[in-house]
C-alpha cells in the first residue's frame, strides 16, 4: 500500500506541474508568444501522461485486490 501512496503523491506532483505549464501557456498566448505557449503546452501534456499512467497503475492494483 505504501507504493500506492507514493504513486498518488507522484501523480499529484505531475498534475500540479502540468497546471503550472498550462498557466504559463496562457500568459504566453496573451502576450502573443505563441511558440513559447506551444512549448509549455507540450510540457504540460507530458506531465499529464505520466500522471495518467500512475493513476492507471493504482486502478490496476485496486482491481486486483477486490
The domain spans of the chain are 2-65
Give pLDDT, residue 34. Answer: 98
Q: What is the mean pLDDT of each run of 10 residues along the chain (66 residues)?
A: 86 98 98 98 98 91 80
Map 29-61 to HEC letters: HHCCCHHHHHHHHHHHHHHHHHHHHHHHHHHHH
Give pLDDT, residue 25. Answer: 98
Enter the pTM of the model.
0.87
Give pLDDT, residue 61. Answer: 81
- List Cβ neighbours of 56 (8 Å cut-off, separation of 6 or more): none
Give pLDDT, residue 55. Answer: 92
Amino acid at each position: 500500500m505504501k507504493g500506492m501512496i507514493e504513486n498518488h503523491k507522484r501523480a499529484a506532483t505531475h498534475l500540479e506541474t502540468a497546471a503550472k505549464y498550462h498557466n504559463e501557456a496562457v500568459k504566453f498566448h496573451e502576450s502573443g508568444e505563441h511558440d513559447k505557449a506551444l512549448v509549455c503546452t507540450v510540457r504540460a501534456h507530458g506531465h499529464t501522461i505520466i500522471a495518467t499512467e500512475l493513476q492507471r497503475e493504482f486502478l490496476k492494483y485496486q482491481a486486483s485486490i477486490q
